[in-house]
Structure 1
């Protein structure tokens, strides 16, 4: 019993130490910087998308294109190193949030939904962090090409195609959730904004339009993955850039692309505002 109690005490001490680190002002400041870097990436993707809408961009309209644009700017590598570390801290914070925040949720289903959603954010920021750091180190690659290669490997088996369909359904669902969150202003519950200030209006406008635009883009990505799986054609699973290229080919696609591009810029601005008003632990 003594050994078991000692093990429990040790685990509790480790957990308390982890919570102290997550709540430290310095760590929180770095994590908030991750929101700013995420915002910059979305703004750049939106700008590339707008240029694509008007036929003036050869860059990838995804995180690779955005990070490449940062890397090619003066001092861009420094920004990528700082941003990559900041987004890694943000991913770690979301992992801590999934563990510690779930304690305060009443009901098993609420805890499960909360943990899944929070872990999903951790994965997103973790992937962005790794991608940014790879570009900073000079080894960044085309994310659309990587996606196609990975999908091609999965297409060789029935289980692999089912896995791609599952990914398609998940991405499609996340996109729909973004649209729902934007239209229903569900993001307001996650922020602490002083009432009666002009900044509140800016947050509502950028949040509503930004979430809806990003949701539409993600729905497009999910559809491309589904199309790739059903047609056994990995070339169609090219991620965000491929989805936007397909959108551009539709009737009035240029207009739709311009709207999505503007919305992604607004989402980026919302992420920057979120860095100031989102509660951290």
Structure 2
């Protein structure tokens, strides 16, 4: 049986993981706000790096970002534990293990971005520099194209699972009241579908970067959203995507409270 120290450490780790999930929600709300400004004609960087830079520029922003780094790191360790043995039985819950691996990658990236913002480092050039380096490798175009296809497929899966509300399987929504339960389900559904659509666009841009040998096309969410804005009726479409990202942000706040950790 675990002693008091182990139980206290476990509780602290769970609290930190919930903090990380909630911080991701707030980050999505900030990105949604930046995307709205882009739709209305602004030139802000509408991605996680842009949102983190905005936080860092505020009084007390950098100390807050250090706290967020801890939360993101806690989510990484929690998801890594799930991916390497958090689900019982050989071959069982393979889809959940794969999802946990994806979450490890996502939150590791968020932790690195947040750490750079907290230390005052430049946000860099997004995916362009990495893509350019990979494209110069032997078979680099194939590698970049494979990554793009993987992101695109992940986006499609996220759309399907979001529409089916698969995310509720790991949440204790029976503890929530009827209004909170309904809001969690609906914001999760709308948010997952919207974010999945954005990921399919990002994946398509990465594949296009490989085919055309133009790494500047592989800049991630910021370029994806601005690509939407550049289309006919793009401002309206981008406002819709911003609403979806905001929905996902709200859902993350519910997830931070009710997810099985």
TM-score, normalised on structure 2? 0.93
1:233-279 deviations in Å (ceiling 9; x for gaps): 11111111111111111111111100001110110111111000001
Residue 221 of structure 1 is aligned with which of 164, 185, 202? Answer: 202
Contact 1:178 1:215 survives alignment (8 Å): yes
* Matching residue of 1:62: 47
Distance in 2 between residues matched to 1:162 and 1:231, nearest whole Å: 12
What's 2:102 paired with?
A: 120
- Residue 172 of structure 2 is matched in structure 1 by 192
State yes or no: 1:100 paired with 2:85: yes
Secondary structure (helix, strand or coil) at the match of 1:24 reads helix
SS at match of 2:127: helix
Please give the root-mean-square deviation of Cα atoms over the aligned residues, in Å. 1.9
Q: How does 1:52-201 map onto structure 2 within 5 Å?
A: 52-56=38-42, 58-102=43-87, 104-105=88-89, 108=91, 110-142=92-124, 145-194=125-174, 197-201=178-182
Deviations 1:192-224 (A, max 9, x none): 112652100110121011001111111110010
Q: Tell me the secondary structure at the aligned position of residue 18 of structure 2.
A: helix
Whether 2:211 is the aligned partner of 1:230: answer: yes
Q: Distance in 2 between matches of 1:232 and 1:100?
A: 40
Contact 1:21 1:27 in 2 (8 A): no
Could you tell me whether the CA contact under 8 Å between 1:45 and 1:63 is conserved in 2? yes
> Structure 1, residues 148-196: CA drift from partner, whole Å, max 9, x if none?
1111112224511111011101111111111112211111112111265
Aligned to 1:6: none
| Distance verdict in 2 for CA 1:196–1:29, change over 3 Å | closer
Contact 2:39 2:229 in 1 (8 A): yes
Tell me how far 1:114 sits from its aligned partner: 3.0
Task: Give the match for residue 246 of structure 2.
Answer: 265
Structure 2: gaps of 5 or more residues: none
Q: Is the 8 A contact 2:126 2:220 kept in 1?
A: no
Q: Where does structure 1 differ by over 6 angstroms across 4 or more consecutive aligned residues?
A: none
Partner of 2:28: 42
Q: 1:270 aligns to what SS in structure 2? A: helix
> Which ranges in structure 1 are unaligned for 5 or more consecutive residues?
1-15
* Offset at residue 113 of structure 1 (A): 3.2
Q: Is the 8 A contact 1:22 1:28 kept in 2?
A: no
The separation in 2 between residues aligned to 1:249 and 1:212, in whole angstroms, is 21
Query: Under a length normalisation based on structure 1, what TM-score does the superposition of the two structures give?
Result: 0.86
Deviations 1:18-49 (A, max 9, x none): xx679811110011000011111111111111
Given that residues 88 and 125 in structure 1 are in contact (C-alpha distance below 8 angstroms), is that contact kept between their aligned partners in structure 2? Answer: yes
Bigger Rg, structure 1 or 2: 1
Instruction: Give the 5 Å matches for 1:250-261.
Output: 250-261=231-242
